[in-house]
Structure 1
Amino acid sequence: MKTQINGTDILELGFPEGKIIGIALKINSKRNGFTRDEMIANFKNVLETPENYIDDKIFSKLAVALIEKSNEKPEDFIALNQNPNAYSAYGLDHIEDGARKQMEVAMKLPVTVAGALMPDAHQGYGLPIGGVLATKNAIIPYGVGVDIGCRMALSVYDIPEDFYFENEAKFKKELITNSIFGAGHGFHGQYKSDHAVLENETFNMNPFVKNLKDKAWSQLGSSGGGNHFVEFGIMEFAKDDAVLNIPKGKYVALLTHSGSRGMGATIAGHYTKIAKDECKLPEVAKNLAYLDMNSQLGQEYWLAMNLAGDYASACHEIIHNKMERALGATILAKVENHHNFAWKEIWNGEEVIVHRKGATPAGKGVMGIIPGSMTAPGFLVRGKGEENAINSASHGAGRQMSRTQAIKNITQTEMKSILRDHGVTLIGAGLDEAPMAYKDINQVMEAQKELVDVVAKFTPKLVRMADDGSKED
């Protein structure tokens, strides 16, 4: 039975995003003898009639904050559109209300041109994860996300399926030797990698970005924490693929998922704060604060975002190069795609900025990888270029449990059992990344049949993730 109350629970009661959520969570942390249901009931009452709680010993601060919020003058903020355009949604029956509400707010921004919600969507900060938003001449740092340029990278080897099962110990050794995980973790001294991305002139753009270079160098080629992984699996092509020039069959493949590490997170935090100072939006939309692309700050963020994306790509390149050398294998195909990014694209004949926060580019013929979980298949796909989806698809299965919920509701025994049933060897990872915390990938793929064609199926066999409980995504 659920006993905890988190920010999502309070948002769903109707509380506005922002500091008021923090006040409520602080009150809840003390609990003051209330059960979860009693605390929820009290929160509802305070929200409905805050004036009755101004002198209450427990809820007075929350009540005063709500009253102050209600007295804010609309003219102090950039007005939201009252009649926003509709957005396209896929698999809507399996998308939580919080994500829908966030998308509805995003569609009210005066700079919004179009929007779409992918079937793996769930609530995030500002734009929901799985949200796609096209804007006119404006960039939203939280529309991109914290882990800028996070991506999937795939190498399909000329190694048959049987060879993996006959040599699993070797693959395990190389996986441990050639990958490193955990928030804040990196390399030192002679173990540091080198890459042309470190010579990118954008590092000299301003003192803020320049100061990130040493940290970027130390973490180059590492994978971070949270849902990031490096894994070996079996890639099955049910038929010949002429574009990739790969015959029908089953091959060993390496799949990696990670992003721009500490550098990207620092850039996201820095420019989000600037955007909120520059772009005063109502509380419900404040995490969607945007920067004008014609402004110096807008251009700074754009360049920094692209640098972080290039850096994330370099991290994957280093991992895949190391593994290729270690295995002595020939790569038949490499595919890479990213999310948590913004692109300049043409929409209805005009240039727009397309934000894909946890969404995969799926223009016509564009290759992508959509993973499931550590026990569920992933899919190599080719985009169909569906305009209603703004040429996008999901970036994975999507969470159906928050990290907190997963840790509370899933046992180690249950996790070990499902891994054993699927023949998956796991190195690292906590209960927050248990397969049961994710939606059914087959259901997600069914909901986006009009967005992508499946080219091949990837079945994970040997998975490595951070084991430090890191929440870095």
Structure 2
Amino acid sequence: MSKENYDVFQPGTGHPVKMWTHGVPVDDGARAQLANTAQMPFIFKHLAVMPDVHPGIGSTIGSVIPTRGAIIPAAVGVDIGCGMMAVKTTLVASDLPDSLGPLRRAIEKAVPHGRSNNRSGRDSGAWGDVPRAVDASWAALAGGFEHITRKYPKLERTNNRNHLGTLGSGNHFIEVCLDESQSVWFMLHSGSRGVGNAIGNTFIELARADMRRHFINLPDRDLAYLVEGSKHFEDYVFAVEWAQQYARRNRETMMANVLDAARGVIGKPFATEMEAVNCHHNYVQKERHFGEDVLVTRKGAVSAKAGELGIIPGSMGARSYIVRGKGNVESFCSCSHGAGRTMSRTEAKRQFSVEDQRLATQGVECRKDAEVIDEIPMAYKDIDAVMAAQSDLVEIVHTLKQVVCVKG
């Protein structure tokens, strides 16, 4: 690969930062976070930065952080295993009903979504009575969870079993899409829900405590790390792998319920032709790169090994892509996880109105109210520019355009 496909940003005392950001904006806050992360002594080779890069907690979202002998829990984040799943069906556009409102409502009814904080009633984003199919999936996770909670009993008092098969809020979504051949796809975005959040926060605090105990000064306290061989490192590795398994099962359970709901509305029987992918984009795992075994944290990035399928979603009202990895070694075989935000949720709500949201999502059956303005397409980077910037990381297999979107 020629160097021209990425720019190299060299912080004064840190490792190189290779940035696939030609033609897309990168704000100063993101550059500052990259410089801080690049200073960490256990970084392997360089950081790889995807075109959707934007500021996160401690480290930027849209970055690939390879390390030896340490993990930064806040870089993995608190939505551990968050990712995408997409399924192609035997349906075509003409098989969908003329009015898509009933299909959206059926999906909303089948999958708990959003969040309600009323103290007396059930959270709308959790199961009241956990369905039998959800319990069957939880059974495969229960042993690992018991192992974790023996050492960390506070994690028992989380939403765990009753969040399995639920969507969440924020940028999590369920969509019905059409591809370039007018085939119908179902796609969704979610992660490890309440229990993953609790695991992430627990180990972030433990890492910070380790830094204080050993008088380690950091450029940002959210870069607190766990050292291999230390008291909490192996516990974190086990817990994060469990949360990633939970996230994968969460998406599978939701997808089964979405397909069942769709069958109840769409008059024509259909089958699923292929599962495009069920991939994480907030996670850490051991991989081999440049002839060495390293830990790779993808914080808002997707694995893109040669021939590997992945999903890069756009924003509400924008295209999404099923992609095939090119195995680019300089990127640690990675690509972006989406378009990437250009502004905060608060700023989006300040700048845009419900009418702006309505116009930006014309032709999409979705909510068009004040609660989802922070997800307006204009709050995100141009997905076409993002795809052009990473043309040496992935090739486009399918282009999807949503016709139904359910937001948390």
Q: TM-score range by the shorter chain?
A: 0.7 to 0.9
Q: Deviations over 1:100-154 (max 9, x none)?
A: 1111111111111121111000001111001111000211101101100001000
- CA positional deviation for 1:443: 0.5
Q: Deviations over 1:163-192 (max 9, x none)?
A: 125363452243122122124620012547
Contact conserved, 2:173 with 2:189, CA < 8 A, in 1? yes
Contact conserved, 2:104 with 2:406, CA < 8 A, in 1? no
CA distance in 2, matches of 1:96, 1:254: 33
- CA positional deviation for 1:250: 2.3
CA distance in 2, matches of 1:337, 1:157: 19
Q: Report the counterpart of residue 348 of structure 1 in structure 2.
A: 290
CA distance in 1, matches of 2:185, 2:326: 24
Q: Report the counterpart of residue 167 of structure 2 in structure 1.
A: 223
Q: Match of 1:289, as an amino acid?
A: A
Matched, 1:262 2:197: no
Contact conserved, 1:126 with 1:142, CA < 8 A, in 2? yes
Matched, 1:390 2:332: yes
More moved, 195-204 vs 117-126: 195-204
Q: Report the counterpart of residue 3 of structure 2 in structure 1.
A: none
Matched, 1:181 2:113: yes
Identify which of 241, 264, 273 aligns with 1:332: 273
CA distance in 2, matches of 1:201, 1:391: 29
Q: Report the counterpart of residue 366 of structure 2 in structure 1.
A: 426
Q: What TM-score do the two structures reach when normalised by structure 1?
A: 0.75
Contact conserved, 2:100 with 2:365, CA < 8 A, in 1? no
The 3 A distance-change label for structure 1 pair 151 and 104 is: same
Matched, 1:312 2:254: no
More moved, 157-166 vs 302-311: 157-166
Q: Report the counterpart of residue 120 of structure 2 in structure 1.
A: none
Q: Match of 1:123, as an amino acid?
A: P
Matched, 1:88 2:18: yes
Q: How many residues were matched structurally? A: 372
CA distance in 1, matches of 2:54, 2:207: 24
- In our comparison, the structure showing a higher alpha carbon Rg is 1
CA distance in 1, matches of 2:179, 2:90: 11
CA distance in 2, matches of 1:232, 1:271: 36
RCO comparison, higher one (Cα < 8 Å, 6+): 2
The 3 A distance-change label for structure 1 pair 411 and 133 is: same
1:129-144 matched pairs, under 5 angstroms: 129-144=61-76
After superposition, the CA RMSD in angstroms is 1.9
Identify which of 136, 143, 149 aligns with 1:200: 143
CA distance in 1, matches of 2:209, 2:373: 38
Contact conserved, 1:209 with 1:304, CA < 8 A, in 2? no
More moved, 435-444 vs 276-285: 276-285
CA distance in 2, matches of 1:310, 1:210: 20
- Structure 1 gaps of 5+ residues are 1-80, 237-248, 467-473
Q: Percent identity?
A: 33
The 3 A distance-change label for structure 1 pair 329 and 294 is: farther
Q: Deviations over 1:219-255 (max 9, x none)?
A: 111111110001111123xxxxxxxxxxxx3211111
CA distance in 2, matches of 1:435, 1:306: 33
1:153-164 matched pairs, under 5 angstroms: 153-164=85-96
The 3 A distance-change label for structure 1 pair 295 and 419 is: same
Contact conserved, 1:375 with 1:435, CA < 8 A, in 2? yes
Contact conserved, 1:229 with 1:465, CA < 8 A, in 2? yes
SS at match of 2:222: helix
The 3 A distance-change label for structure 1 pair 412 and 178 is: same
1:97-112 matched pairs, under 5 angstroms: 97-112=28-43
Matched, 1:125 2:125: no
1:226-375 matched pairs, under 5 angstroms: 226-236=170-180, 249-279=181-211, 280-326=215-261, 327=263, 328-334=269-275, 335-375=277-317
Contact conserved, 1:202 with 1:303, CA < 8 A, in 2? no
- CA positional deviation for 1:203: 2.9
- CA positional deviation for 1:376: 0.3
Q: Deviations over 1:38-58 (max 9, x none)?
A: xxxxxxxxxxxxxxxxxxxxx
- CA positional deviation for 1:288: 1.1
Q: Deviations over 1:257-300 (max 9, x none)?
A: 01111111111111001111113543523211111222341110
Q: What TM-score do the two structures reach when normalised by structure 2?
A: 0.87
- CA positional deviation for 1:360: 0.9
Contact conserved, 1:157 with 1:333, CA < 8 A, in 2? yes
SS at match of 2:361: helix
More moved, 329-338 vs 282-291: 282-291
